[in-house]
Amino acid sequence: MSASSTTSLTRPTITAPTDLFIAGTWTPATSDARFDVIDPASGEVIARVADGGIADAENAMAAAVGAAAEWAATPPRARSEILRTAYESIMARSEELAAIITAEMGKPLADARGEVAYGAEFFRWFSEEAVRISGDHTLTGDGKNRIVVTRAPVGPCILVTPWNFPLAMGTRKIGPALAAGCTVVFKPAEQTPLTALALAEILHDAGVPRGVVNVVTTTDASGVVGSWMSSGAARKISFTGSTAVGKILLEQAASTVMRTSMELGGNAPFIVMDDADLGRAVDGAMVAKMRNMGEACTAANRFFVHRSVTAQFADKLAERMGALTVGAGNAHGTEVGPLIDDAGRSKVQTLVDDALGRGARAIVGGVAPDGPGYFYPPTVLTDVDSTSDLMSQEIFGPVAAIVPFDTEDEVIALANDTEWGLVGYVFTQDIDRALRMGERLEVGMVGLNTGLVSNPAAPFGGVKQSGLGREGGKVGIDEFLEYKYFAIPRG
């Protein structure tokens, strides 16, 4: 696998529901079809999950619609307490949930535990926001009328999540939806259904009423989600995934003028200026690049390093990357798990081969290992040509592509030369320069001397083709609320 690999495995017992969750009941698919869940570290089948179809999607939507009025009328404190209970249950079941995440997604157990804590925090955060939904009361300019503004849930919501953070992406959407008083139909990624079903079980046990949360696992994503989109009953979709799929959903949402939240692709620039603290920059790079094996929309995709420090930074980063231990996520000592599937690994190798063919040099990694599982070694490329495909495509793997630059204006132009704009990272010891560059970057989030921007208390989201709307923070609940205005004459 790499210079270091693991062999000793920890195999905790994994228990999670494997049926659909509709109207508060666990049920097989109408067709009785099931699909395999694969361990990406071995290629072995670890579970068979109900494969929902359009009939199941329709049943789930009917349940969400049927529960909508009562859930919207539920007191905010009651909704808050349910989310708080679910948060506490997630934390109490941390080891069990981490084991499920590692088994079906591949990330090391230590990282999976981190995701559980991160994901649980969305429920705690939005349990607190549920009781702080605000309104307004003012007078018209002429003083003749009162203006009373209230907030109301948008209605039934479609939630679609990816496989890379199967718990956190679910809680980041379900938390604000339930806090606002919305019911949901939820389609998790085909690769990671077990985490979503375990989450549904936790919410049910926490007291979520029948029909408020409905989960349909499926291999027919377009059929199931398309059924919901065309139903006319859903009033919002919140999607995290590729820009290509996001555009299709935006077109479908237009037919019913549906509210949308889109967290799409990224092509994050990681900028190291000539005055940067290189030790801190390398630390930040390890987080921004290697979190989740690089399979994150926030992952540093393009490393722009000032020419005066390029060689030093590349050597330090390669030393750190090459020392990482690659292996199964449930093996003792693993720091880098497998990629999600063969297609994901093949894409990474194709991008690396293209860069090497254009003159890049791999100073560590660069070749997928033989053997079972979808492993790819941490890789550092230097002398990368700006026309290489990995400069314009999201890598989604443990590959750092380094490009030198000379001036601030040059690197800002390079960083902004992309259709995406989710996050950017800047390392410099000059606070004025840091703020100036952050303001010039065409992104929704900026990490200044840090490689981690995700936090439930912050508004997560991007600009350009990286999406619409924000998740998390004080504004996260706004995506699930409508304004209603009362005009009242003064007597």
CB 62 within 8 A of CB 83: no
Q: Tell me how far CA of residue 113 lies from CA of 110, 148, 181, 415, in angstroms.
A: 5, 45, 29, 33
- Cβ-in-10-Å burial (0-12, 13-18, 19+) of 180 comes to buried
Phi-psi domain of 181 (left: phi exceeds 0; alpha: psi -120 through 50; beta: other):
left
| Cα–Cα distance, 480 to 158 (Å, whole number) | 11
Phi, psi (rounded to 5 degrees) for 404: -80, 155
CB 33 within 8 A of CB 51: yes
> Checking DSSP bridges between strand 45-50 and strand 136-139, what pairing results, if any?
unpaired
E runs forming strands in 398-458: 399-405, 420-421, 423-427, 445-448
Residue 396 forms beta bridges with which residues? none
C-alpha 188, offset from chain centre: 12
* Lookup: tokens for 438: 């952050």
* Lookup: tokens for 148: 């009373």
Phi, psi (rounded to 5 degrees) for 468: -135, 140
Q: What is the dihedral of CA 168, 173, 174, 177, to 10 degrees?
A: 160
Catalytic residue set: 263, 297
The percent helix, strand, coil of the chain (3-state, each to 5) is: 40, 25, 35
| Cα–Cα distance, 309 to 279 (Å, whole number) | 12
